A = this chain, B = another copy of it.
Amino acid sequence: MRKTVARLADGRQLIYYDDADGGDSPARPADSRNLPPLNVGSELRFDPLVDEWVTIAAHRQGRTHLPDDAECPLCPSREGALSEIPASDYDVVVFDNRFPSLAADVGELAASGEDGEDGEDLVPRQPGIGHCEVVCFTSDHHGSFGQLTPTRARTVLEAWADRTIELGLQPGVEQVVPFENRGVEIGVTLQHPHGQIYALPFASPRTRRMLAAARSHRRRTWRNLFADVLATEREAGTRIVAENEHWTAFVPAAARWPVEMHLYPHRQVPDLPALSDAERDAFCHLYLDLLRRLDRLYDTPLPYIAAWQQAMVNIDRDLSYLRLELFSIRRAEDKLKYLATMESAMGVFLNDVRPEDVAQRLRDLGD
Footprint of B on A, CB under 8 Å? 45-58, 60-61, 65, 101, 112, 117-119, 121-123, 177, 179-181, 186-188, 196, 198, 200, 204-207, 209-210, 212-213, 216-217, 225-226, 228-229, 232-233, 235-236, 238-239, 252-256, 305-307, 309, 325, 327, 331-332, 335-342, 344-355, 357
Contact = CB atoms under 8 A, between A and B. Distances in A.
Contacts of A357: 58
Contacts of A180: 341
A65 B337 CA distance: 12
Nearest to A257: B344
Nearest to A196: B341
Q: Which 8 A-B pairs have the closest CB atoms?
A: A187-B338, A205-B347, A204-B346, A307-B345, A47-B254, A45-B254, A206-B347, A123-B253
Contacts of A49: 209-210, 213, 225-226, 229, 252
Contacts of A252: 47, 49
B57 A351 contact: yes
A346 B307 contact: yes
A181 to B, nearest CB: 4
B213 A50 contact: yes
Give the oligomeric copy count: 2
Contacts of A45: 253-254
A229 B46 CA distance: 12
A310 to B, nearest CB: 11
Given A60-B352, A213-B48, A350-B55, A206 B345 contact: yes
B206 A340 contact: no
Given A48-B225, A200-B348, 9 more contacts: A48-B254, A49-B252, A54-B256, A55-B349, A55-B350, A123-B254, A187-B337, A205-B347, A305-B344
Which has the most chain B C-beta neighbours within 10 Å: A57, A123, A198, A233? A123
Given A307-B346, A336-B187, A338-B187, A119 B48 contact: no
Contacts of A335: 65
A342 to B, nearest CB: 7
Nearest to A233: B119
Contacts of A210: 49-50
25 contacts: A47-B254, A48-B213, A48-B217, A48-B254, A49-B209, A50-B210, A51-B212, A51-B213, A53-B254, A54-B255, A55-B349, A55-B350, A56-B254, A56-B255, A60-B352, A112-B238, A123-B253, A177-B346, A179-B345, A205-B348, A206-B345, A305-B341, A305-B345, A325-B345, A339-B339
A346 B205 contact: yes
Contacts of A325: 345
Contacts of A338: 186-187
Contact of A181 (B122, B196, B341): B341
Nearest to A118: B236
B353 A61 contact: yes
Given A346-B205, A349-B54, A254 B332 contact: no
